[in-house]
Structure 1
């Protein structure tokens, strides 16, 4: 073969290789992830699945230590699983100057944050100032001092044309979605009642556990997870989900003005006692670190202010959210959720107890405003209205005036799967270049309430 023919052949091979769909994954995608200081397993859950528009190469910047090792171990687990393995390639920089290095190199365009919450707002602020999009695990801030910084971060993100968003997984739990859908049918639900502080229109309660399994393996918590100055108290952590759901379900697609629409009625906090043996089981450490010494009680146990309750009004509707942290769930159980939305004609209740085999279930029950026949007819009509959106939707009577709601099992997803659903929604925002107009003001409203509630609760209960 002469030189000219050889060059033509090589060019043809190169073209075929580049144009072959099988090699598409080798091409750089529109979205390149940067993971910063992944101290919480939620950082890895964002990568439990692959996304067509996201590059398989992820640049990681973090201090060296067990938290980074745990994150990389989960990514490796996802890459090597037998069922639908992922193909992430982690390029890791280890060093105490990880943030400065990331900002200098800017090896991607979306920063993923899930770790020590004490520094998160600083990471957010510097990332959006550098023109980087940010997908952040909750909470973005853990006290009222961080609120002005968060407001400025959203303003900077808007100026720089980037998207700042937090990971609200609970919007994708099917029973919560159904609770919202039924509440938006006036002929069936009748609209929210105003409620009162003693009997709110909306109540959401969440029970979590320090010791748990993630992706089938026991979770090792970093010691700082038990330090509320670093992790944040329960009243500003998990309650972000609950406050978000109250807004999202009750006033969908509506802007919440935190200065006008929210009134704090009351807030309280209390501690969970963690023994040295439990702490060791959770963290692998035989002693409490020095930074936790101020939280050790007279019995030698750790007092963690992980529990909290917020009572407030939203657009004159009374709501209450509360979070409880126990050390470990009962056998066969996991994190628990209870929610009720009280309407004129119906109450919409999500329960997740022993009767539900610790899986969330939606019930609808009559308030007695209608007779049994009229309520059943209204429910049947509501089922018909929503069936086009929810495959296999049906009701089953379980008691007088009370019905269990179910859907096709294909619509039921796990908490870990919800991270992919949030990420896909965020990727849609990046593609369109904008978020719905209510998302940013409602994030601000959420964090205004949680941090204001903490400040109020601290005046009632001293550490």
Structure 2
């Protein structure tokens, strides 16, 4: 009897050991078709861009849950366009449930294991929480929180994800833009950048500015935006929307792989918000809606819609003063589009991304030696350092513009465009699902990011009351 018991216990321990080795949080192994996507209430074109490409790990059948209306139809039209294109068509099969109980239906059926959400940001944080509680992974478009209440709920969401062993991740496409990647690479080379300057509120050491447009072209067609996109209680103000990307890039570039603790590493200094005016004609052109809906009338002055879509934040992160700002115009100049400006200031050089008219609205990266640097010695160090960068990114080279200023020449193959970055983010997320975890710094840094934006909104609002 004693021998039998020993054998049984040993067998159980062996089985548990084998089980522990095979099973990962979420129970995913990276096999073909293993990921079954759910798209929840897609009201933003970013939801469709996740499916612009196919992925071996993702099944072709995708379950869509949404209220009836234009939003879901616009989403399905974009997916159909990807399926019908001549070059590398996809094979998505959208299984759609539309009705007022779409959320409850999704949660009860649980037909997928990864939920994608990009749409009404006022509802998004609650969508995320409910989905995580059902044991489903979440890949969310930014922003995941548009006010302080949302931020409190988002902290709960990460706790739920940790307890259930599932992943919550936001779509940070700008990390995949090549000029940003190389700006980060060069800032990590002391011979090129020196030490990170601390900066001041008057002269921040890191500056990131983004200009966006309501009327634009996506996947070759004029973008139709839902009317609610212009309601900051649903979309979020500019200071908590696009600035999410900018705050993320400050963290990702200046402190690569480091954990940011928002309680001790972030200090807000100043924040501002202001409006962009939209005429009735412009509103109709971009939404297809004849008149302002009732929920927007609170923001209408003399027949002109005033949208709080602009903002800036000055803050310290681990002692470094940074400034991020976002501006929304109605549409872009001829030949232009959304633009990005960025400068990182080191003791030896400034690393500057420009994307204006002089650059034909294409982002370009410059290395600008600071005053007082021995230019002959610096150029030698810079050239040697760029050889190492070129080994990792073949074809990248230096073009000397004038004394102390160089443009980083980047082959066109690296400039894949904003839409392609959604596929790159998704591929990373699929790898994290296979690993069963995010990098250790991702969750605390997401919290730091949303603390920064939502607290800045509180500060800006207090100034404009």
Q: Distance in 2 between matches of 1:377 and 1:369?
A: 16
SS at match of 2:281: helix
Among candidates 329, 347, 355, match of residue 352 of structure 1: 355
1:50 equivalent to 2:66? Answer no
For the 8 Å contact 2:191–2:382, the answer to whether it is kept is no
TM-score normalised according to structure 2 size: 0.93
C-alpha deviation, 1:240, in angstroms:
0.3
Q: How many residues of Structure 1 are paired with residues of Structure 2 in the alignment?
A: 435
- Stretches of structure 1 that go unaligned for 5 or more consecutive residues are 1-26
The one-character-per-residue Cα deviations of 1:211-256 (angstroms, maximum 9, x if unpaired) are: 0010000001100000000000000000000000000000000000
Among candidates 282, 294, 316, match of residue 290 of structure 1: 294
1:435 equivalent to 2:438? Answer yes
1:332 equivalent to 2:335? Answer yes
1:83-232 correspondence runs (5 A): 83-232=87-236
The match for 2:19 is: none
SS at match of 1:229: helix
The match for 1:277 is: 281
- Stretches of structure 2 that go unaligned for 5 or more consecutive residues are 1-30
SS at match of 2:232: coil
Q: Distance in 2 between matches of 1:347 and 1:303?
A: 37
Q: Distance in 2 between matches of 1:370 and 1:229?
A: 49
Among candidates 237, 240, 246, match of residue 236 of structure 1: 240
For the 8 Å contact 1:169–1:419, the answer to whether it is kept is yes
For the 8 Å contact 1:345–1:367, the answer to whether it is kept is yes
SS at match of 1:221: coil
For the 8 Å contact 2:34–2:59, the answer to whether it is kept is yes
The match for 2:28 is: none
For the 8 Å contact 1:337–1:360, the answer to whether it is kept is yes
Q: Distance in 1 between matches of 2:426 and 2:409?
A: 26
For the 8 Å contact 2:32–2:56, the answer to whether it is kept is no
The one-character-per-residue Cα deviations of 1:304-361 (angstroms, maximum 9, x if unpaired) are: 0000000000000000000000000001100000000000001000000011110000
For the 8 Å contact 2:299–2:306, the answer to whether it is kept is yes
Among candidates 373, 378, 384, match of residue 387 of structure 2: 384
Q: Distance in 2 between matches of 1:370 and 1:393?
A: 24
SS at match of 2:224: coil
1:396 equivalent to 2:403? Answer no
C-alpha deviation, 1:411, in angstroms:
1.6
TM-score normalised according to structure 1 size: 0.93
What's the C-alpha RMSD, in Å, of the aligned pairs?
0.9
The match for 2:426 is: 423
C-alpha deviation, 1:435, in angstroms:
0.7
Q: Distance in 1 between matches of 2:372 and 2:246?
A: 28
For the 8 Å contact 1:344–1:369, the answer to whether it is kept is no
Q: Distance in 2 between matches of 1:442 and 1:402?
A: 33
Q: Which runs of 4+ in 1 moved over 4 A?
A: none
For the 8 Å contact 2:259–2:441, the answer to whether it is kept is yes
1:446 equivalent to 2:431? Answer no
C-alpha deviation, 1:408, in angstroms:
2.4
Distance 1:261 1:281, change over 3 A: same
SS at match of 1:118: helix
The one-character-per-residue Cα deviations of 1:357-413 (angstroms, maximum 9, x if unpaired) are: 100000001102322211211210110121121111101011221111022222221
C-alpha deviation, 1:28, in angstroms:
7.2
